[in-house]
Amino acid sequence: MSEAQSQTQQVTAAVAKLYDTYPFPPEPLLDEPPPGYNWRWNWLAAYNFCAGRKPERENIRILDAGCGSGVGTEYLVHLNPHAQVVGIDISAGTLEVARERCRRSGADRVEFQQLSLFDVEQLPGEFDLINCVGVLHHTDDPVRGIQALGRKLAPGGIFHIFVYGELGRWEVRLMQKAIALLQGDQRGDYRDGVEIGRKIFASLPENNRIRKRDQERWSLENHRDENFADMYVHPQEIDYNIDTLFELIDASGLEFVGFSNPGFWNLERLIGKYPELMERSQNLSPRQIYRLIELLDPETSHYEFFLARPPLRKSDWSDDNLLQSAIPEIHPCIDGFPGQTVFNYDYQIVNLTSAELAFMEACDGSSSVTQILEQVELDLTGVRSLQQRQLIILKE
């Protein structure tokens, strides 16, 4: 066995032990489908975000890579009624929770396997959607992990990833190192680590920077030991900045589609007060602009983004003829419709005009844009606005 293989085995065993001790996430098990939605786990919504249109089919295969206790897996099953879902994780104890969670809520189109990301080639076939949330940064070799998963992505498929950002977790890293120092030879005893960590927080002065940061940002989650352990006593963590993140993305061999929180990555919200600053930014590459944003707003605790395996054809609705012949449908992840005030896919409030509401109410999944515009007082610009705000999705 090579030194690298031995290191991987040691890290995998340590991480599995953590999650056997503290299954994560610790969300309650329900006897009904989970509430609400996460649009990133809805195939129609996620594909529309990436390609700008409705996918051609819904009977897809989904992989939840590093599924943990099955919180995301459960949503993937319920939000995608025509999909077959596979969940993999290295922790046997956590997988038992995942199986029970999905059994109780009726998420019956899922198969679970105890498997590492590095061994994902053992699964048959390819996947149209791969979900990997909070996993790659807990491996000893994220590049090898992302490459292994990328090879299982079907052509035209999309890959949703979540990894930690270093700037928004600066105090977290300091606390991790402090706990490790005090644990000494007992490091790896995760219950001891949680006990030590809680005593440190209780002892720190109220104006201490690490304590204040935890109270402001993390305390609502960290009252549960599972969350506290995942954050402060994890045996393996790699945090990213924009530069190192794109090194990881480039190594994947996949196409970067975009961040799934595009509002954060809008430079104008930070320096738009002075047009001359925005003008100077035009000389920067997109990656340099991303780096500038995170330097000016260092709250980035994580990056959430989509990759795709080419070819992913993206629709351009600037063509009037294409738009007029499109079939519009209501976006699958909005709440409060029908009504002029709705929550959009990202749970932001949107106030619709009467004409926009009338158009959306006429979207029956079979009428074209042209046919609907014959009935309501809205123009193509208005239709494009609805599509760009992801209130409707369009089928070519």
Under 8 Å between Cβ of 140 and 123: no
Provide the CATH topology of domain 3-166+239-264+300-308: Rossmann fold (3.40.50)
Long-range CB contacts for residues 124-127, cutoff 8 Å, separation at least 24: 125/61, 126/61, 126/152, 126/153, 126/154, 126/157, 127/60, 127/61, 127/62, 127/63, 127/86, 127/152, 127/153, 127/154, 127/157
Fold agreement between 3-166+239-264+300-308 and 320-395: no
Question: What are 285-322's pLDDT values in tens digits?
Answer: 999 999 999 999 999 999 999 999 999 999 999 999 99
Residue of 158, 157, 167, 161 lying closest to 143 (CA atoms): 161
DSSP annotation of 335 reads B
pLDDT greater than 80 at residue 1: no
Contacts of 277 by beta carbon, 8 Å cutoff, 6+ apart: 271
- The pLDDT value recorded for residue 282 is 96
Flag whether pLDDT at 131 surpasses 80: yes
State pLDDT tens for residues 28-59: 999 999 999 999 999 999 999 999 999 999 99
- When pLDDT is averaged across residues 377-383 and rounded to a whole number, the result is 97
Give 192: exposed, middle or buried? Use CB within 10 Å, 0-12, 13-18, 19+. Answer: middle
Alpha-carbon separation of residue 391 from 46, 59, 75, 342, 369 (angstroms): 13, 23, 21, 10, 14
Entry pTM: 0.96
CATH number at 320-395: 3.90.930
| Residue ranges with strand state E in 69-152 | 84-89, 110-114, 127-133
The domain limits of the chain are 3-166+239-264+300-308, 167-232, 320-395
Q: How far apart are CA 324 and CA 17, in angstroms?
A: 56
Among 144, 119, 148, 135, smallest CA distance to 237 is for 135
Kindly indicate the confidence band of residue 268, based on its pLDDT and cuts at 50, 70 and 90: very high
Contact assessment for residue 326 and residue 317, using Cβ atoms and an 8 Å cutoff: yes
pLDDT at 4: 81
Contact between residue 163 and residue 142 where contact means Cβ atoms under 8 Å apart = yes
Asked if pLDDT for residue 2 goes beyond 90, the answer is no
Q: How would residue 177 be classed by pLDDT, with cut points 50, 70 and 90? A: very high
In the predicted structure, residue 66 carries a pLDDT above the cut 90? yes
The confidence score (pLDDT) of residue 75 equals 98
Q: What percent of the chain has pLDDT over 90?
A: 97
Question: Is pLDDT above 90 for 91?
Answer: yes
